[in-house]
Amino acid sequence: MIRAILLSLALSPGIPPALAQNQEPASSGRGAVLRGLDKVNGETVDVELQSGGRVPVFGLTVDLADCRYPNENPTGDAFAWLTIRETGHDEVLFEGWMIASSPALNALDHSRYDIWVLRCITS
């Protein structure tokens, strides 16, 4: 129970959990590179998404609010705040920080599709 409460606090909007623990200065990127997987046919696609933008990935619609990265290591990790819905539906399937180095920590739970963060767009 305590672990669940701490995880929910760490994954709430604000500072991403790994940055909150280390207190490393972070910067926001212009966007993020995401990878989508269709588990049925094994097809993958990489998409670039600007912060504040929206992109369709297979049967899902992905909104990116922010992508942050550590100032000391811009290519080392990425933390993206994503909202994911099925295309044509209002129900949110996923909303929160997705972490490139630990995609299973806070992952999309969908029977057919998977989406994860690869990196922030920094230049």
Mean pLDDT of 11-36: 71
Buried b (16+ CB within 10 A) or exposed e, 72-101: eebeebbbbbbebbeeeeeeebbebbbbbe
Q: Which residue type does 117 have?
A: V
pLDDT at 74 over 70: yes
pLDDT at 16 over 70: no
The pLDDT assigned to 87 comes to 93
What number of helices (H) and strands (E) belong to the chain? 2, 8
Which pTM value belongs to this model? 0.77
pLDDT at 2 over 50: no
pLDDT at 102 over 70: yes
The pLDDT assigned to 13 comes to 54
Show me where the domains of the chain are located.
2-121
SS3 112: coil
